């Protein structure tokens, strides 16, 4: 299994980063600029665990359906349920102000290497199902 490590540098507090991760409002694609609005969909939502499809069109079409879980205080984990580039069961986790992840990466033929950047913004917690 491949392990991918990455860092995100931001001036935001850990609380603000956590707030961004659990914001599943219609504004999520604005707050995470690489998310394509047309690929974003909240399939179901519970108090601490929505199922969400999101993706990007850059540098190539990438999408995944993830199960987010923040039932453990101070931690958000998102686990891939389906994807065109990651295996189900792959996950990333944010906690205590940093992001760690264990990701099984699948590169379909001719996909090349992927570069993903995400930008953090402000807070909101309004949710809407698609």
**Domain 1-130 of CATH type 3.30.530:** yes
Tell whether the model's pLDDT for residue 94 goes beyond 50: yes
Q: Specify the pLDDT at position 112.
A: 36
What is the reported pLDDT for 91? Answer: 86
| Strand 51-56 relative to strand 62-69, pairing | antiparallel
User: In this structure, what is the dihedral angle of CA atoms 46, 47, 51, 53, given to the nearest 10 degrees?
Assistant: 120
Going by pLDDT thresholds of 50, 70 and 90, the confidence category of residue 3 is: low
pLDDT computed for residue 59 by the predictor: 86
Find the mean pLDDT for residues 40-62.
92
Q: Is the pLDDT of residue 38 over 70?
A: yes
Rounded CA gap, 99 and 7, in Å? 7
What does pTM read for this prediction? 0.72
- Residue pair 123/20 in contact by the 8 Å Cβ criterion: yes
Domain parsing of the chain, residue ranges: 1-130
Report yes or no: 81 and 63 within 8 Å, Cβ to Cβ.
no
How far is residue 128's CA from residue 42's CA, in Å, rounded to a whole number? 7
**Confidence class of residue 105 from pLDDT cuts 50, 70 and 90?**
very low
What SS3 class is residue 52? strand
pLDDT at 13: 78
Residue 70 near residue 22, CB atoms below 8 Å: yes
| Average pLDDT along the chain | 74
> Tens digit of pLDDT for each residue in 106-120?
333 433 333 332 333
- Going by C-alpha positions, the residue among 20, 6, 34, 1 that lies closest to residue 98 is 6
């Amino acid at each position: 299994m491949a392990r991918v490590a990455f860092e995100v540098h931001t001036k935001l507090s850990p609380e603000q980063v956590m707030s961004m991760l659990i914001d599943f409002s219609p504004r999520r694609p604005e707050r995470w600029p690489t998310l394509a609005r047309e690929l974003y969909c909240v399939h179901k939502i519970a108090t601490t665990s929505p199922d969400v499809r999101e993706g990007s069109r850059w540098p190539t079409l990438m999408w995944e359906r993830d199960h987010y879980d923040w039932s453990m205080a101070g931690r958000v984990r998102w686990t891939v349920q389906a994807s065109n580039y990651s295996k189900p069961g792959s996950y990333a986790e944010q906690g205590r102000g940093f992001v760690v992840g264990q990701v099984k990466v699948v590169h379909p033929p001719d996909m090349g290497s992927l570069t993903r950047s995400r930008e953090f913004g402000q807070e909101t917690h309004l949710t809407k199902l698609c």
